[in-house]
């Protein structure tokens, strides 16, 4: 397009994708791409899954929207399955991960001030975190780039160092209401939490009456090899937030919490016009049922281990590769130089990936990705590495597709 009527808020890749099935996307010229982005970890069960599509089509013939002033039975169904599958007791539905995190922040403050009767309001988050782009969640985010030009920012957020329990202790005061963190920092380069740190953090929060909020917007719904990432670590957060992978591409978010928080979110305290509408919630219910029936997180764990092993074996020997790391199917390859031009070449060769920060490429295929698709993805990366460096220094035994 010579002129767009959209605000230029996105640096778009030079592709127009028009059709998708499972792990494959096609552009307007009919070129096929192996999708290891899944719409930013959204299409966890692949593109246009038949089981979900059928349920959406049924709902389209019945009801699209009423409002939360009426009972919406499918909300209760989805909430019930989320509660039965997690450590949470209650669910609030919204439209996005940022809104879910905003709801968690509000609920934490109101729990302390309205229920417990203290004046705690501060939330400790972490350097290099990402929690959204509303005014509260961009302030919570530990990256300066998302805050540029939006001051003055709201009060009440303190940033500690990730995986550093002493840093958290130094930030915690009588004003601290909650600690919020991702168990894998995805946007800043795929950094998994340290097991000892998260267990010590959970104990520290419980000891000091501070709520623990786990942002599972990207890690939830099977991506890390468990249905929820917190299950890897033997902890139970007071609240967790979901969005991306919950409804196969329809807009949804969910803030989940313990029973003790019920009074904090009493009638009139928080709301969302479109949150929990029948259409996206139906998609969420169908998606979750599919994942639960198939135990798809187990496939994701196996496939993720295979992906990390293949990337390590065939790519780590190149001088340009610094590290391969990740959890389940949230995998990062760290380079010694900016990855934008490398990603461009990968796209040109039919593999869709995305950056995590400036020096990391993220691999996030759907939970049902198979070994053949992983082999093809690794082969494309190897081909690009060979071209990039001129000659292979690791002699990888992978044939280009």
Place of tokens 């520290």: 204
Residue range 17-48+296-389 forms a domain whose CATH class is alpha beta
- Is 209:173 a contact under the CB 8 Å cutoff? no
When pLDDT is averaged across residues 139-151 and rounded to a whole number, the result is: 96
Can you tell me the distance from the alpha carbon of 69 to that of 124, in angstroms, rounded to the nearest whole number?
34
Each residue's pLDDT tens digit, 30-88 = 999 999 999 999 999 999 999 999 999 999 999 999 999 999 999 999 999 999 999 99
Radius of gyration of the chain (CA): 21
Q: What is the pLDDT of residue 311?
A: 98
DSSP three-state, residue 181: strand
pTM: 0.95
How high does pLDDT run on average in the chain?
96
Residue range 63-294 forms a domain whose CATH class is alpha beta
- The reply to whether 17-48+296-389 and 63-294 are identical in fold is no
Check pLDDT > 90 for residue 392.
no
Can you tell me the distance from the alpha carbon of 231 to that of 40, in angstroms, rounded to the nearest whole number?
22
Pairing of strands 24-27, 184-185: unpaired
In the chain, domain spans: 17-48+296-389, 63-294
Beta strands in 102-234 (DSSP E): 122-126, 157-160, 176-182, 184-185, 191-192, 211-215
């Amino acid at each position: 397009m010579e002129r767009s009527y959209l605000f230029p808020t996105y640096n778009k890749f030079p592709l127009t994708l028009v059709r998708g099935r499972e792990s494959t996307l096609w552009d307007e010229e009919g070129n096929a791409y192996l999708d290891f982005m899944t719409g930013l970890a959204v299409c966890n069960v692949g593109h246009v899954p038949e089981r979900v599509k059928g349920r959406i089509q049924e709902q389209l013939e019945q009801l699209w929207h009423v409002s939360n002033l009426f009972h919406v039975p499918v909300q209760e169904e989805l909430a019930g399955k989320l509660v039965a599958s997690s450590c949470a007791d209650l669910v609030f539905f919204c439209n996005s991960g940022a809104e879910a995190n905003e709801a968690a922040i509000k609920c934490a403050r109101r729990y302390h001030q309205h229920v417990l009767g203290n004046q705690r309001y501060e939330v400790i988050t972490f350097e290099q975190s990402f929690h959204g782009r509303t005014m509260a969640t961009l302030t919570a985010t530990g990256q300066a780039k998302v805050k540029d030009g939006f001051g003055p920012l709201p009060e009440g957020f303190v940033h500690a160092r990730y995986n550093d329990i002493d840093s958290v202790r130094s930030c915690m005061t009588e004003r601290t209401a909650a600690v919020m963190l991702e168990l894998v920092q995805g946007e800043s380069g795929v950094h998994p939490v340290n097991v000892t740190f998260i267990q010590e953090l959970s104990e520290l929060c419980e000891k000091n009456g501070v709520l623990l909020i786990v942002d599972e917007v990207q890690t939830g719904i099977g991506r890390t090899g468990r249905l929820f990432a917190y299950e890897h670590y033997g902890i139970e957060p007071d609240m967790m937030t979901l969005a991306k992978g919950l409804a196969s591409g329809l807009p949804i978010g969910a803030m989940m919490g313990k029973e003790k928080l019920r009074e904090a979110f009493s009638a009139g305290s928080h709301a969302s016009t479109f949150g929990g509408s029948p259409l996206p919630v139906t998609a969420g219910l169908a998606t979750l049922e599919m994942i639960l029936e198939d135990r798809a997180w187990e496939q994701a764990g196996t496939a993720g281990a295979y992906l990390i092993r293949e990337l390590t074996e065939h790519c780590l020997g190149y001088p340009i590769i610094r590290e391969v790391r990740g959890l389940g199917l949230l995998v990062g390859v760290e380079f010694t130089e900016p990855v934008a031009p490398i990603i461009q070449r990968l796209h040109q060769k039919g593999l869709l990936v995305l950056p995590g920060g400036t020096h990391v490429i993220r691999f996030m295929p759907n939970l049902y990705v198979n070994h053949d698709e992983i082999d093809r993805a690794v082969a494309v990366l190897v081909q690009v590495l060979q071209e990039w460096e001129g000659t292979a220094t690791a002699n990888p035994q992978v044939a280009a597709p």
